[in-house]
Structure 1
Amino acid sequence: MSADRPPSMDSLLSRPETAEPLSLYGREAVKEELRRAIAAGNTEPETLIGAARESLSRRFAPTVVRVVNGTGVLLHTNLGRSPLAEGARDAIARVAAGYSTVEYEPATGHRGKRQDHVRGAARALFGAEEALVVNNNASAVYLALTALARGRAVLVSRGELVAIGGSFKIPEILEASGAFLREVGTTNRTTADDYRRALSADTALLLTVHPSNYEIRGYAISPEPSEIAAVAREAGIPWVHDQGTGCVVSLDEFGVSGERTVTNCLADGADLVTFSGDKLFGGPQAGFAVGRASLLSKLAEHPVARVVRPDKLALAGITSRSTARPPLQSRRSRREPRGSALRWPGARSRSRSFRHSRFSAAGRVPRRSSRRARSPSRGKGCRPTSSPCGFDPGLLR
């Protein structure tokens, strides 16, 4: 072999040093990396195999890894939303380690139903007639629309035709479900009478959506929940509300006002409320639909319900949160001082001082990409809209 010519691929693959990469990554992946090393101008077998091993190690390293959230956004979708509460982590680990009763009833020895694990606890927690858990909130919204409104019209305010993240758009979800969108009001002003004027014989339901990543200010108006409930009752159609966050208790004393709880939404008169399990609820990715039993039975019996059903790990985490004390317990009820650690990890992050968070994140973010916050603020997804109490500007200097 010439000194300036690389060895043959067969000779490289047959060398003892290549045995481990072949067993770990497969023949084609090893050949691909060896070719890249050869194309880079290397000719020594040891150098080629070493370069291929290093490249393969980087290529197949885990990509979902733990990071420090220095963005200031507690429920950051790109960073996995809420950290799991300790009870949820423990429950998931126990179930993941072996077999489980996901669809088995030990008392009778018969097949069980996976929804039974969360139904009773969720009903008690939210004060709902019935509850259904699916794999995420978008699925819950889609299932509700396709089960209750396929082939018929759904009323939605133009100010609530939201787009969230990269692909969740209410108009597209409506179209995919087979329902027809009927826009109501204007972007900045929608009244109860606008809903009434949009009603027709083919109207299936009234849909309202929590504006998770924007806020309309200024010359704007929207009907009160009681007015929306009245319109739905008068028309004899259900009111479906996408609450989004899964807030269980009032956040007022944590410096966040105006976030209505799931129980509030049901008390307002919503017939069906959907929300995420991995936001303020503090569980794994999941979607809830809670409300009237007659509506939930239609969702549960629909073929799509099986397509979007939760797996055993999600069930374990959600069950632990549904049967535990509220994810965000009141400091006042527990007689704990302000700033104490909370049971929900995301809120615990909120209670940490900026100085402590700054030091724990030191060195994790390149300086050129860092941006200094001016104040801690409350926002809906991407833009802060208010400043929580207890902020010390000196911590940012």
Structure 2
Amino acid sequence: MNKNLLKSLPKMDELLENDKIKKVIESSMRVLVIESLREAIDYYRTGILKDKITELNNEEIVDYALEILEKKKQNKLRRVINATGTVIHTNLGRSILSKQALEAVENVAVNYNNLEYDVEAGKRGSRYSHIEELLVKITGAEAGLVVNNNAAAVMLILNTLCKDKEAIVSRGQLVEIGGSFRIPDVMAFSSAKLIEVGTTNRTHDYDYTRNINENTGVLLKVHTSNFKIMGFTEEVDLETLVKMGKEHNIPVVEDIGSGVLVDFNKYGFIPEPTVQESIKKGVDVVSFSGDKMLGGPQAGIIVGKKEYIDRMKKNQITRALRIDKMTLAALEATLKLYLDEKEAIENIPTLNMILSDKETLKQKAFRLKRKLSSKTTEFSYKVETEYSMVGGGSMPTETIEGYAVKFTCDKMTPQQIEIALRNNKTPIVVRVNNGEVILDVRTLKVEEFDIILDALVNIEKKLK
């Protein structure tokens, strides 16, 4: 340990007189500047004590403190660039809001609004009235309700219709969703008793009828949106369940999960059940997410027969699960786009990215390659076809052919490049495969190309 070096560490007052610090303290909170300086001094003190730092000067400490300060000023929840090609990326915030949704959020966030005020009547109103009419019009249901996510929606439905009663569900549908949340656990918390019928891969109509009794509250179907069971399988279709429910006067509930409101089959995708189809087939209550295939904010949407929705509105749990003004605004703006399917596909980023044609993506990829090649020389770029994913527990077996920019560097491994991009000021999340870094343009915005270029330029500078 160099005791003289340790003694030469500057005092706080000395660093505060540095011109760089004086300048930055004018635009930053003083407490954060001092915190950053202390952490920088501590870093160098520890380095000296461990004989890892053998020389220093005040400018180095100041520069390191400014790096720390920059990180402190950043929000913990912040923007990242998604170059993975997974459209509904659960870890990256799922669906991106449309321009219309963003404008709606800003409008109610910075102004007073009629969240629970009936302007025409001049008295207290219901927050659910703002979107119920839209939900009814789009899905064909009698009524609608929105809570904070789909797990909450399932819990509310079961607590309202099946408290202290039995909910019959196929074993093959007892799914685990993100974050280790499991359907059986959600059901238990709702005070509904789970009755598992059939087997993992095969469930028949008689499995339900054998278990129906005077204490049966609902017949539950859970759409396995995040996995598929292939091969020797069988499940009871909705029409049969609905018929069974009517015969025994038991409501049929479907957790459709991903919330598809567009028939993707006509665009060349494997058929995915839509909310409208379920309502048309006579399902009493359907729940789905707002931030998956629907392309809106996080929400749990419930549509179905008015008598059941009205009961849920009166359930005291509903207040604990309700959504706020900004979510309502974003959801209303998103749903309005669904009044015209063409408008929805054009304006809702999730739908637009999923349905982007190959030629558009090809041109986009070559545009990115030209931009990157023009300013960097250490990386070798090429454009190739690549398969993207829908993601977010939706269309689990579906891949979408598109294009990506793939690149390598003789002086860095793909893993080192991935780490450097991920630690960029605006993190860039990429994929690495077959020794190449992959930038899938399906999930990239054109305005993000410059950020990617700047990041690679900075990486290249450190190599020289």
TM over 0.5: yes
Q: Please give the alpha-carbon distance, in whole angstroms, between the structure 2 residues aligned to 1:53 and 1:393.
A: 39
- Per the alignment, residue 70 of structure 1 pairs with 84
Shift of residue 10, structure 1, vs aligned partner: 5.4
Contact 2:6–2:45 (8 Å) recurs in 1: no
Q: Which protein shows a greater Rg? A: 2
Return closer, same or farther for 1:134/1:48 CA change in 2, 3 Å cut-off.
same
Shift of residue 297, structure 1, vs aligned partner: 1.6
Shift of residue 394, structure 1, vs aligned partner: 12
Shift of residue 99, structure 1, vs aligned partner: 2.0
- Per the alignment, residue 244 of structure 2 pairs with 231
- Per the alignment, residue 180 of structure 1 pairs with 193
Q: Please give the alpha-carbon distance, in whole angstroms, between the structure 1 residues aligned to 2:46 and 2:126.
A: 57
Contact 2:245–2:251 (8 Å) recurs in 1: yes
Return closer, same or farther for 1:205/1:383 CA change in 2, 3 Å cut-off.
closer
Q: Please give the alpha-carbon distance, in whole angstroms, between the structure 2 residues aligned to 1:304 and 1:358.
A: 49
Return closer, same or farther for 1:273/1:219 CA change in 2, 3 Å cut-off.
same
Q: Please give the alpha-carbon distance, in whole angstroms, between the structure 1 residues aligned to 2:367 and 2:221.
A: 40
Match of 2:42 among 35, 41, 49: 35
- Per the alignment, residue 148 of structure 1 pairs with 161
Q: Please give the alpha-carbon distance, in whole angstroms, between the structure 2 residues aligned to 1:30 and 1:301.
A: 55
- Per the alignment, residue 30 of structure 2 pairs with 23
Q: Please give the alpha-carbon distance, in whole angstroms, between the structure 2 residues aligned to 1:218 and 1:323.
A: 40
3-state DSSP of counterpart to 1:178 = coil
1:385 aligns to 2:390 (yes or no): no
Return closer, same or farther for 1:9/1:182 CA change in 2, 3 Å cut-off.
farther
Q: Give the CA RMSD over aligned residues.
A: 3.4
Q: Please give the alpha-carbon distance, in whole angstroms, between the structure 1 residues aligned to 2:158 and 2:336.
A: 29
- 1:10-60 Cα offsets, whole Å, 9 max, x none, are 546865737566536376565445423432337645433432221231244
1:344 aligns to 2:348 (yes or no): yes
Query: What TM-score do you get using the length of structure 1 for normalisation?
Result: 0.83
Instruction: Identify which range, 145-154 or 269-278, moves more after superposition.
Output: 145-154
May I ask how many residue pairs the two structures share in their alignment? 380
Contact 1:328–1:344 (8 Å) recurs in 2: no
- 1:280-339 Cα offsets, whole Å, 9 max, x none, are 2222111110001111122111222111111111111111223334364399xxxxxxxx
Contact 2:12–2:37 (8 Å) recurs in 1: no
Shift of residue 377, structure 1, vs aligned partner: 7.0
Match of 1:276 among 269, 274, 289: 289
3-state DSSP of counterpart to 1:198 = coil
Contact 1:208–1:241 (8 Å) recurs in 2: yes
- 1:230-286 Cα offsets, whole Å, 9 max, x none, are 222222221110112222232222112321221110111211000111222222111
3-state DSSP of counterpart to 1:74 = strand
Instruction: Identify which range, 341-350 or 302-311, moves more after superposition.
Output: 341-350
* Matched-pair identity in %: 32
Q: How does 1:215-294 map to 2 (within 5 A)?
A: 215-294=228-307
Q: Please give the alpha-carbon distance, in whole angstroms, between the structure 1 residues aligned to 2:40 and 2:195.
A: 55
Q: Which protein has the bigger helix share?
A: 2
1:308 aligns to 2:313 (yes or no): no
Which AA in structure 2 matches 1:351? S
Which AA in structure 2 matches 1:200? N
3-state DSSP of counterpart to 2:261 = coil
5+ unaligned residues in a row in structure 2: which ranges? 373-378, 407-464
Contact 2:218–2:250 (8 Å) recurs in 1: yes
Contact 2:242–2:282 (8 Å) recurs in 1: yes
1:195 aligns to 2:208 (yes or no): yes
Which AA in structure 1 matches 2:78? V
- 1:336-362 Cα offsets, whole Å, 9 max, x none, are xxxxx7333223223142424534666
1:108 aligns to 2:121 (yes or no): yes
Shift of residue 157, structure 1, vs aligned partner: 0.7
- Per the alignment, residue 5 of structure 1 pairs with 7
Return closer, same or farther for 1:149/1:275 CA change in 2, 3 Å cut-off.
same
3-state DSSP of counterpart to 1:187 = coil
Contact 2:10–2:58 (8 Å) recurs in 1: no
1:214 aligns to 2:227 (yes or no): yes
Contact 1:321–1:327 (8 Å) recurs in 2: no
Return closer, same or farther for 1:3/1:217 CA change in 2, 3 Å cut-off.
closer
Contact 1:153–1:180 (8 Å) recurs in 2: yes
Which AA in structure 2 matches 1:64? R
Q: Please give the alpha-carbon distance, in whole angstroms, between the structure 2 residues aligned to 1:64 and 1:125.
A: 33
